[in-house]
């Protein structure tokens, strides 16, 4: 399985912290934010990762991560021009992915808890075309929101609704197969002017092609000041409990 980390965007919700830097370079406890999604993919057994960059401080992201060897990974990079949405950014990885299934992790997602290797293996071995992990949040209107039927099955996702139909969201971990690129090519921009990942997930629901699983660990994004603080608190809790490994360091050059 290949991996993608999305580390672009303008991060206006974190102004003034991100006026002159990429939000994925901001510290989360004892390491830069972008380390967490890379460590998430490494924990799945992924060995080749594309980092999609954009906006400010692109050179700093590349200098920080290098070739990925200090993570035990092979890193490559692709630039996204403008904030065109998650699906658009994923579409840039078509040549990199080739014929392999892949997992995309958003660069501001902090997951602490069960390893996701089991989810990756389950998706790879199954018939699904796409997959995501679901999590209950107190503020679902900030995210894509799952709509459930009477049996509790997901029947659709709505992006940042004013009146959410549930408190379940797909967190920023997406499992996909290469045919997803055809789906992305057929998307139209949303009212926000972006190509939405929720539209990709919705494509697979009618034929039973969407893998979903509740994530029973701790999760937060770090895209707002309160969630940035929560992410640091989660990392600090894991550090005190001995569950957070020391951050990797690049070898001296």
Write out the DSSP string of 63-86: HHHTTSGGGTSEEEEEE--S---H
Q: What is the value of pTM for the model shown?
A: 0.94
**Sign for the pseudo-dihedral over CA of 132, 138, 142, 145:** positive
Residue 183 CA to residue 232 CA, distance in Å, equals 36
Stretch (H or E) spanning 91:
helix 86-91
The CA–CA distances, whole Å, from 11 to 108, 222, 227, 232 equal 10, 10, 13, 18
CATH topology of domain 2-240: Spore Coat Polysaccharide Biosynthesis Protein SpsA; Chain A (3.90.550)
Give the list of residues 6+ apart from residue 201 with CB closer than 8 angstroms, or none: 130, 132, 144, 157, 170, 174, 210
Return per-residue pLDDT of the chain as tens, 253 residues. 999 999 998 888 999 999 999 999 999 999 999 999 999 999 999 999 999 999 889 999 999 999 999 999 999 999 999 889 999 999 999 999 999 999 999 999 999 877 789 999 999 999 999 999 999 999 999 999 999 999 989 999 998 999 999 999 999 999 999 999 999 999 999 988 899 999 999 999 999 999 999 999 889 999 999 999 999 999 998 877 767 777 887 665 5
Q: Is residue 196 within 8 Å of 150, Cβ to Cβ?
A: no
Question: What are the residue boundaries of the structural domains of the chain, listed by start?
Answer: 2-240
């Amino acid at each position: 399985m290949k991996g993608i980390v999305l580390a672009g965007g303008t991060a206006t919700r974190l102004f003034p912290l991100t006026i002159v830097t990429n939000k994925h370079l901001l510290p989360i406890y004892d390491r830069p934010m972008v380390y967490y999604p890379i460590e998430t993919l490494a924990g799945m057994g992924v060995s080749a990762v594309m980092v999609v960059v954009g906006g400010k401080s692109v050179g700093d992201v590349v200098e920080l991560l290098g070739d990925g060897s200090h993570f035990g990974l092979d890193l490559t990079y692709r630039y996204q021009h403008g904030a065109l949405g998650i699906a658009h950014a994923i579409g840039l990885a078509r040549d990199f992915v080739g014929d392999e299934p892949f997992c995309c992790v958003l660069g501001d997602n902090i997951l602490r808890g069960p390893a996701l290797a089991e989810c990756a293996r389950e998706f790879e071995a199954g018939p699904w075309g796409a997959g995501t992990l679901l999590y209950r949040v107190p503020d679902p209107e900030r995210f894509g929101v799952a709509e459930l039927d009477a049996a509790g099955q997901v029947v659709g996702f709505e992006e940042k609704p004013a009146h959410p139909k549930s408190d379940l969201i797909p967190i920023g971990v997406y499992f996909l197969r290469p045919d997803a690129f055809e789906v992305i090519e057929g998307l139209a921009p949303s009212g926000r002017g972006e190509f939405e990942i929720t539209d990709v997930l919705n494509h697979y629901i009618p034929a039973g092609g969407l893998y979903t699983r509740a994530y029973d660990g701790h999760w937060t994004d770090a895209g707002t000041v309160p969630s940035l603080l929560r992410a640091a608190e989660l990392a600090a809790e894991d550090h005190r409990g001995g569950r957070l490994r020391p951050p990797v360091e690049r070898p001296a050059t």
